[in-house]
Amino acid sequence: MNEYFHLLKEGKIEEWNALELIEVDLRCANLEGANLGSANLRGANLGSANLVNANLGSANLVGANLIGANLEGAYLRGAYLEDANLRDANLEGAVLCDANLDGAKISYRGKVVTVRFEK
């Protein structure tokens, strides 16, 4: 995986998406300020990752593990977060406008909440 990690760090999203990596392990990765807009991170393990001020606009994070991830100030507009696990993630100042959070698990004051939207 390390041989491909530099693509994310350098914002080479088209090249990353072309790899069609599924359920990639990026635990504890430092992606602070990375431009990951439209990245395919479906099922990725981003547990405890540093995503401070990262651009994840329109990114595919369906089923991703974001437990304990730091998403402070991250841009997640239009991101696909269905069934993602955001327990204990820091979402302070994150932009979640138009993000799809259906089925996502989010911690709030020690309680885990599953988000469901009526269609």
- Cα–Cα distance for residue pair 4/40, rounded to 1 Å: 13
The tens digit of pLDDT for each residue in 39-59 reads: 999 999 999 999 999 999 999
Looking at residue 60, what is its pLDDT?
95
Looking at residue 115, what is its pLDDT?
59
Could you tell me the CA-to-CA distances from 84 to 9, 10, 30, 49, 104 in Å, in that order? Answer: 22, 25, 19, 14, 5
Two structure tokens written together for 40: 């395919």
Question: At the fourth CATH level, which superfamily is domain 1-23+36-90?
Answer: E3 ubiquitin-protein ligase SopA (2.160.20.80)
Q: How many CB atoms are closer than 10 A to CB 102?
A: 17
Q: Is 97 left (phi over 0), alpha (psi -120 to 50) or beta?
A: beta
Q: Side chain identity at 55, as an amino acid letter?
A: N
8 A C-beta contact, residue 83 and residue 64: no
Domain boundaries, the chain: 1-23+36-90
Q: Which regions of the chain are under pLDDT 50?
A: 119
- Cα–Cα distance for residue pair 6/110, rounded to 1 Å: 35
Looking at residue 119, what is its pLDDT?
46
